[in-house]
Chain A
Amino acid sequence: MPHFLIHNKQDNVGVAITDIRRGEEIEGVYIEDMSQGPKLKALDEIPLGHKIALKDIRQGEFVIKYGRPIGSAIRDIRMGEHVHVHNVKSNRWSKWKNP
């Protein structure tokens, strides 16, 4: 069983489908065609359902899931890091756009 799933080939994050331990060597599957996704090393604990960076994402870059931006990185994120509210923010809602 893969450790994480990826919605779209353009995505820079995957979703853990099991609890992933820090330091674990993990692999993913692209669900659009069930092809093999990247293999990488988890830098954080990633609970089931949480996202993991599939590549380095620089501060200000879009976080891509479903092939679409789901927000922007608010600091540099390394491949294998946990991606969540501590390092990504919505591109929507006015307060974020005009803090």
Chain B
Amino acid sequence: MEKPVIKGYIRENGSVGVRNYVALIPVDDLSNTAVLGVSKLIRGTVPIPHPYGRLQFGKDLELLFHILSGIGSNPNVASAIVIGIEENWANRIADKIAETGKSVEVFPIEGNGDLKVIEKASRKAKEFVQEASEKQRTEVDLSSLVLSIKCGESDTTSGLASNPATGYAVDRLIDYGATVLFGETSELTGAEDIVASKIIDPLLREKFMKIYKEYVSFIESQGVDLLGSQPTEGNIKGGLSTIEEKALGNIQKLGTKPITCVLDYLDLLPKGSSRLCFVNTSSAAAEAVTLFAAKGSVLHLFTTGQGNVIGNPIIPVVKISANPKTIASMSEHIDVDVSDLLQLKVSLREAGERIFNYTIRVANGRLTSAEILQHDEFSPTKLYISA
């Protein structure tokens, strides 16, 4: 079979994007207004407002910087504007983005005020949008793609059909050299030993189990368990009874390849050969997809049973479902229907090929339902309260 190629945007550092945005990044909650002001004036910009960024400290602050600079550095972003109340933190984010070779400009609000900042940033954003509009898609090898996978509002149809079919597509993508990120630390409970057994390198396996155990100890230190949260109300309505059942369904989407990298919150994705990569993430849809995008994922495959509507401002999210009721009742959100696999009308291979082919189309520019419906959820993970 001929190796599929995609048409993507090759960035200054050689990474490949499938979208071409000018990102407007606020450092903190106070800067959202200016960012939204610029986005209203300048067509083609993507504002990424969020509620954090003041008086954070330690690892929690490092994670915010990691996410904001990661979003700006994402290959789907052509250039970025960073607006912050104070200049120093804005520069820390912009300097990281600048390391990728792309254009980035900082506009501090203190001493200027919103109106001056909006004017100056809008003039720069106009320049950036015009530059970005001349970037062309070029043929690149599939091996240059970084993707991510996560399920949400899962039910038993996820474990039976949409997840294994996605696992088939993940195998294909990795065979062609692509890198696939997965996470959802809490939702591996009951299948964490299976995930660990897919990690060949003993040091990485140890790292994974340490991350998993730290997470469990954190939950226990709060004097609670996750009954009532995991599985969720939606999961239970869909027939999932316990976290173990949910986890065993969840890992069906990992496919059959070994896990060759394990990333904690602040770890950067190493450059190089193809891999299946665990990322320590929340299991909440928007938080996980936001962190995957910050690590460099340019396209996300999202399986859903009961119907999750999540999207992301800078990476396309492809919705895949096998639940015929959800596909009928929430059709505008579902991109790939594999309910015929649930009903055994097609083989796993056929359903998996369908997801793989759709992934290629989205990489080539086809818009996803979430993009068209303006699902722009950007949710940085926060580790603890601010000072």
Closest to B305 in A: A49
User: Per-position contact with A for B20-31: 1 when CB-CB < 8 Å, else 0?
Assistant: 000000000000
B244 touches A71 (CB 8 A): yes
Interface residues on B, range: 20 to 34
A49 touches B242 (CB 8 A): no
Closest to A18 in B: B343
Q: Considering the chains assembled together, what is the distance between the CA atoms of A90 and B189 in angstroms?
A: 10
| Interchain CB contact (< 8 A) of A93 among B239, B243, B343 | B243
Interface residues on A, range: 20 to 34
- Which A58-85 residues have a C-beta within 8 angstroms of B? 63, 65-66, 68-71, 83-85
A13 to chain B: closest CB distance in Å? 9
Q: A39 near B: Cβ within 8 Å?
A: no
| Interchain CB contact (< 8 A) of A96 among B220, B225, B238 | B225
B227 touches A95 (CB 8 A): yes
- Asked, given contacts A7-B160, A49-B155, whether A92 binds B244 with beta carbons under 8 Å apart, the answer is yes
Q: Considering the chains assembled together, what is the distance between the CA atoms of A88 and B239 in angstroms?
A: 12
Q: Considering the chains assembled together, what is the distance between the CA atoms of A15 and B248 in angstroms?
A: 14
A88 touches B344 (CB 8 A): no
Q: Specify which chain A residues have a CB less than 8 angstroms from the CB of B220 in the assembled complex.
A: 94
B325 touches A48 (CB 8 A): yes
A51 touches B239 (CB 8 A): yes
- Which B222-280 residues have a C-beta within 8 angstroms of A? 224-227, 236, 238-239, 241-245, 248-249
Q: Specify which chain B residues have a CB less than 8 angstroms from the CB of A16 in the assembled complex.
A: 239
Q: Considering the chains assembled together, what is the distance between the CA atoms of A48 and B239 in angstroms?
A: 8
| Interchain CB contact (< 8 A) of B190 among A2, A34, A70, A85 | A70
Closest to B248 in A: A66
| Interchain CB contact (< 8 A) of A68 among B227, B243, B244 | B244
Q: Specify which chain B residues have a CB less than 8 angstroms from the CB of A7 in the assembled complex.
A: 159-160
B344 touches A93 (CB 8 A): no
Closest to A66 in B: B248
User: Per-position contact with A for B330-346: 1 when CB-CB < 8 Å, else 0?
Assistant: 00000000000011100
Q: A17 near B: Cβ within 8 Å?
A: yes
Output the residue of A17, A84, A85 with the most chain B CB within 10 A. Answer: A17
Q: Specify which chain A residues have a CB less than 8 angstroms from the CB of B344 in the assembled complex.
A: 1-2, 5, 29, 31, 34
Closest to A31 in B: B160
- Which B141-194 residues have a C-beta within 8 angstroms of A? 155-157, 159-160, 189-191
B241 touches A17 (CB 8 A): no
Q: Considering the chains assembled together, what is the distance between the CA atoms of A63 and B244 in angstroms?
A: 11
Could you jot down 12 A-B contacts, CB within 8 Å? A2-B344, A7-B159, A15-B156, A17-B157, A51-B239, A68-B244, A70-B190, A84-B241, A90-B241, A90-B244, A91-B190, A92-B242
A: residues with CB less than 8 A from B are 1-2, 5, 7, 15-17, 29, 31, 34, 47-51, 63, 65-66, 68-71, 83-85, 88-96
